[in-house]
């Protein structure tokens, strides 16, 4: 007997939090849909022939389905309906994007029963009665919220409520993407994109600890990418796989898992080394890609890939030493050094320059002063913004980093976001309707009217895990808690309050949860209270 496998996710039934819009005539007692009782809402064709329609807001982005409870129809038969899902109100009111998951359905709703429709990412749902004569009674319309019921082991709190909300929003964004594997998005890109996974893995480490979904996702793509192929067809993404293995081992210290990667890791390092010219210049084939905002800038791609090669070879050398592969480690170190000396054509890309800082190919303070801190809210992205933050932190500009987080990621919250987006520009917010508002004449639509490259208009994903980096960054730099040795056997505690009065929180480790509290004193110094679980020592 084939018993199949159990789904690690749970289903939770949520009522809408508000009725955002109805078609008017033909909709009676819509407010009853906000109640968990026997009161009903009636949908019936209007006298002028217009459809009876209703737009529901479930209050926050979620992944799942819609369930309609229909006790009666006037025909005594299933009702014909149309259901549209939206990450924004305008998406649910328009013609939703149907890539990767369907957002727009024509269906029949069973009477005296329940009907479940869809499986996607959404906050809003519009229901239209298509029958031109018969009516339909609705008892409830629930969102079926499908997610992994995981405790938030990590936490962050400071005296700035906006930063607290950003930390939680990043955690929620990544949590939603922890479905079959770690997806990039829950509406679109329901796939394991290895490069995009790196910020998500860092957030998972900060919030949930060493959850098995990350190694499962890493192995999923590894097993589908025999060498000499590049993961997801993109050479940089195989480099990110090495960096993911390095950071996962650094945070969780799972040597058994790392040993399972040895053969593939050595083969991949050899492949990368074979793509270096005699002067150390990378000549990676496959898709030459960093992320979308730099995709049309060859100098940024060249400079960024050069830095990523250095970072990956250094990380691979470190892992080979742990694995007792001395010869492979030495070759990777030598190749990394050679590659670090081969500078590409100058680029003004903040993303490429941030990678060069992280690879120690450029001076952090000079690069920050001359580029990264200039017009700081432009020329960045939700994905590589994390690495710009990391580079600016190396320059000691933690105050600038917090202001960037507040304004750029906070800018999404200001227009109604409850998760972080695939792409974003602050300029979009000028004279634009919020995503939880109906489109307004004379104003731009924050969802339908913006976006670029693969995320134009309503194709734009408003829940994209690669955008969650500030959650990991705030834990790493404001709480200042990072592993000093693999698996947190020893820990660095180096807080950077950067103008904050206090910060406190928790950081999960393989040994238990570290709890820390930092309080600024009258003389400007910072007092730290630290609780370490058994097996963890402060470095």
Q: Give pLDDT tens digits along the chain (539 positions).
A: 677 888 999 999 999 999 999 998 899 999 999 999 888 999 998 777 788 999 999 999 999 999 999 999 999 999 999 999 999 999 999 988 777 788 999 999 998 889 999 999 999 999 999 998 889 999 999 999 999 999 999 999 999 999 999 999 999 999 999 999 999 999 988 999 999 999 999 999 999 999 999 999 999 999 999 999 999 999 999 999 999 999 999 999 999 999 999 999 999 999 999 999 999 999 999 999 999 999 999 999 999 999 999 999 999 999 999 999 999 999 999 999 999 999 888 899 999 999 999 999 999 999 999 999 999 999 999 999 999 999 999 999 999 999 999 999 999 999 999 999 999 999 999 999 999 999 999 999 999 999 999 899 999 999 999 999 999 999 999 999 999 999 999 999 999 999 999 999 999 999 999 999 999 999 999 999 999 999 999 99
Query: The pTM is what?
Result: 0.96
Angle at CA 129, nearest 5°, toward 124 and 131?
165
How far is Cα 416 from Cα 419, in angstroms, rounded to an integer?
Answer: 9
Query: Looking at residue 1, what is its pLDDT?
Result: 65
In degrees and rounded to multiples of 5, residue 175 shows phi and psi of -55, -45
Q: Can you give 421-489 as a three-state secondary structure string? A: CCCCCHHHHCCEECCCCCCCCCCEECCCCCCCCCCCHHHCCCCEHHHCHHHHHHHHHHCCEEECCHHHC
Query: Looking at residue 2, what is its pLDDT?
Result: 72
Strand 136-138, strand 155-158: pairing: unpaired
Query: Looking at residue 66, what is its pLDDT?
Result: 97
Query: Looking at residue 132, what is its pLDDT?
Result: 86
For the chain, count helices (H), then strands (E): 15, 20
Q: Which three-class secondary structure state does DSSP give residue 145? A: strand
Strand 52-70, strand 140-147: pairing: antiparallel
Q: Which three-class secondary structure state does DSSP give residue 3? A: coil
Query: Looking at residue 88, what is its pLDDT?
Result: 97
How far is Cα 471 from Cα 502, in angstroms, rounded to an integer?
Answer: 17
Query: Looking at residue 98, what is its pLDDT?
Result: 75
């Amino acid at each position: 007997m084939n018993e199949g496998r159990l789904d690690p996710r749970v289903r939770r039934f949520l009522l809408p939090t508000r009725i955002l819009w109805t078609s008017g005539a033909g909709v009676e007692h819509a407010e009853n849909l906000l109640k968990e009782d026997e009161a009903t809402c009636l949908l019936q064709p209007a006298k002028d022939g217009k459809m009876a329609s209703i737009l529901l807001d479930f209050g926050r982005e979620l992944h799942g389905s819609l369930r309609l409870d229909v006790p009666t129809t006037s025909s005594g038969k299933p009702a014909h309906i149309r259901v549209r899902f939206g990450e924004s109100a305008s998406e649910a009111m328009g013609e939703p994007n149907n890539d990767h998951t369907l957002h727009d359905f024509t269906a029949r709703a069973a009477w005296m029963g329940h009907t479940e429709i869809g499986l996607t990412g959404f906050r809003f749902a519009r229901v239209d009665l298509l029958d031109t004569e018969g009516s339909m009674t609705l008892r409830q319309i629930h969102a079926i919220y499908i997610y992994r019921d995981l405790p938030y082991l990590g936490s962050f709190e400071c005296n700035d409520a906006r930063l607290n909300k950003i930390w939680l929003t990043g955690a929620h964004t990544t949590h939603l993407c922890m479905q079959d594997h770690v997806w990039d998005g829950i509406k679109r890109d329901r796939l394991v994109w290895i490069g995009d996974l790196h910020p998500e893995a860092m957030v998972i480490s900060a919030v949930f600890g060493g959850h098995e979904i990350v190694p499962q996702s890493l192995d999923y793509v590894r097993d589908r990418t025999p060498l000499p192929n590049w993961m997801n067809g993109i050479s940089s993404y195989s480099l990110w796989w090495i960096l993911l293995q390095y950071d996962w081992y650094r945070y969780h210290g799972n040597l058994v898992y790392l040993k399972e990667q040895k053969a593939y890791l050595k083969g991949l390092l050899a492949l990368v080394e074979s793509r270096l010219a005699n002067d150390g210049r990378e000549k990676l084939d496959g898709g030459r890609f960093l992320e979308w905002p730099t995709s049309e800038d060859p100098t940024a791609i060249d400079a960024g890939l050069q830095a990523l090669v250095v970072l990956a070879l250094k990380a691979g050398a470190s892992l080979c030493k742990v694995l007792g592969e001395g010869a492979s480690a030495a070759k990777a170190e030598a190749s990394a050094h050679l590659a670090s000396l081969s500078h590409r054509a100058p680029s003004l890309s903040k993303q490429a320059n941030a990678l060069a800082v992280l690879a120690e190919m450029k001076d952090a303070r000079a690069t920050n002063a001359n580029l990264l801190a200039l017009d700081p809210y432009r020329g960045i992205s939700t994905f590589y913004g994390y690495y710009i933050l990391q580079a600016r932190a190396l320059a000691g500009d933690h105050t600038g980093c917090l202001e960037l987080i507040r304004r750029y990621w906070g800018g999404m919250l200001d227009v109604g976001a409850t998760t972080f987006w695939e792409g974003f520009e602050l300029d979009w917010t000028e004279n634009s309707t919020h995503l939880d508002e109906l489109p307004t004449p004379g104003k731009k639509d924050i969802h339908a009217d913006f976006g670029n490259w693969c995320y134009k208009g309503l194709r734009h994903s408003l829940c994209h895990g690669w955008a969650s980096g500030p959650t990991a960054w705030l834990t790493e730099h404001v709480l200042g808690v990072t592993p000093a040795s693999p698996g947190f056997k020893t820990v660095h505690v180096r807080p950077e309050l950067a103008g904050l009065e206090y910060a406190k929180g928790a950081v999960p480790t393989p040994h238990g949860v570290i709890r820390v509290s930092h309080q600024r004193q009258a003389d400007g110094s910072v007092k730290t209270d630290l609780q370490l679980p058994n097996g963890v020592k402060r470095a």
